[in-house]
Structure 1
Amino acid sequence: MLQRTLKQTISATGVGLHSGERVKLTLHPAAPDTGIVFRRTDLPAPVEVAVQPSLVNDTRLSSTLVTDTGVRVGTIEHLMSAFAGLGIDNVVVDVTAAEIPIMDGSAAPFIFLLQTAGIEEQARPKKFIRVKKPVEVVEGDKWVKLLPHEGFSVELSIEFNHPAFNRAPQKVHIDFASRSYIDEISRARTFGFMHEVEYMRQHGLGRGGNLNNAIVIDDEYVLNPEGLRFPDEFVRHKILDAIGDLYIVGHPLIAAFSGHKSGHALNNKLLRVLLDTPDAWEFVSFSQPEQVPSSFHRLPEVE
């Protein structure tokens, strides 16, 4: 299986969920083994920020890269999730603000953007990280773990004692050997509570949020007129987030990920623990299609 990049450059404009700033996003093809690199083009001298778990230094309601000089690229998880869902290894992402645009609160607009640009294979093997031993992080009643698994699957549960959540399943298991990321996960939107809005805005967060880019919940109901896209959209979005957070490791994982009440901080700690446990993982590539775990056979075909 080969690495993937884009066929051509493509751009989109949107609003940052937390900053409320208008931002232009431009995705460029990149050479093999480049990885995902963000480039802040609004600064006096453009600054490149290569995606890596050690740079996720702000996890308040999103995953934000922060360099040692203070350059930030925020809310990267939905775009990273789309890259993972389409198996894209190498892209340079230009952004004209400190945050990726939120679009509709899901990964679906990014999927559309990437498919419009086109995807091409490169003459270099795709590098996977295969988990060889269980790795776990526990904080109180919250936990996340990675287990050896010949493919990629996610099982997540959430716990909200709230009428809107009690009406829907709060646990989902998806094995991507038989289920589609695009169909099952990409359209699930981020969500938030009305009572949190004032707190977030006092802390410089959520300034761009509205009913067009998030599910908003009051004391009892979902306020969006169109309702939910899935009965269990809340937990599906947590899976979307987790897939994006995990892809910050820079390679697709051959593993089973599971968690309870997980979030960006816990997901990132799991990656750091994994990388700090050398005997728990290994790099692998596959020269023959039949060697590739079936979870990755469902990646959209390259034309």
Structure 2
Amino acid sequence: MTTPATTLISPACRDALEQWLAGLAALQGAAENTVTAYRGDVVEFLAFMTHHFGGPQGLGALAKISTGDMRAWMAATRATGTGARSLARKLSAVKSFYTWLAERQGFEPTAVLSARSPKFQKKLPRPLAEDAARAVIETVEFQSTTDWIAARDVAVVTLLYGCGLRISEALGLTGADAPLPAVLRITGKGGKERIVPVLPAARAAVDRYLRLCPHPQERAAPLFRGVRGGALNARLIRSAMAQARAQLGLPASATPHALRHSFATHLLEAGGDLRAIQELLGHASLSTTQAYTAVDTAHLMDVYNRAHPKA
């Protein structure tokens, strides 16, 4: 993929970058969006080094980048208005690329790998209250005057909340998954497989959608269809939820992904085991799931502060 920035990079570096990205996709199962983001981050870094040193840098020159060079890149990146969180992501991509490159070129990448990631406050997931989550699902149905489209949108958001699916996972279901079984085998990020129980309400919502859908059900075709019969675009679900939350007076954080957060948080509040929730969400690391304990604690403290007689 050629962009204006890639023209500032030596052919050898471009080839190395594409080889690394191909390995991420083929060997590590990195999602297309991840590969695209990493390409952009590393291209920006290499293009900066071209300006920094006054000309395109070959692979040999990249091995000589110093701690000072890394500081210069990070300072210049922050100066463009890039936040700490985004810079941390960019640095992570650069470090990953350098680890791969150093193994193949036989140099020591200490200067790059020792660069400290900027500190930032991790954003807690913003789940909906249980009654708000139910209200969203009910209200989504009224965002379309076409019965089968209304049923489709309800089925999708019910899967997000009832099963904790990512929207890409819900829209990745095919006709072969219908009628929905008691448990679904979902392939999530990085090709990680997990087993997800399907609530009766979610199965009923999907069954209703299938009864009303005018397009023939085919095993290899997407389960959720657009108006013309092609795969449903996630943007349409986001739009339906945006209209629903506006009607309900909910904040902009009430997105499709917030329903997945709500699934996890409500399970935790009900006494769910953190490890089990990790498996249901398909998180590779327990630390990712542990963010929900902070949400639960924040909720408990809010209740305490409002209800305690000494508050």
TM-score (norm 1): 0.27
Structure of larger gyration radius: 2
Q: Which has the higher helix share?
A: 2
Q: Which has the higher contact order (CA 8 A, sep 6+)?
A: 1
TM-score (norm 2): 0.27
Q: Which has the higher strand share?
A: 1
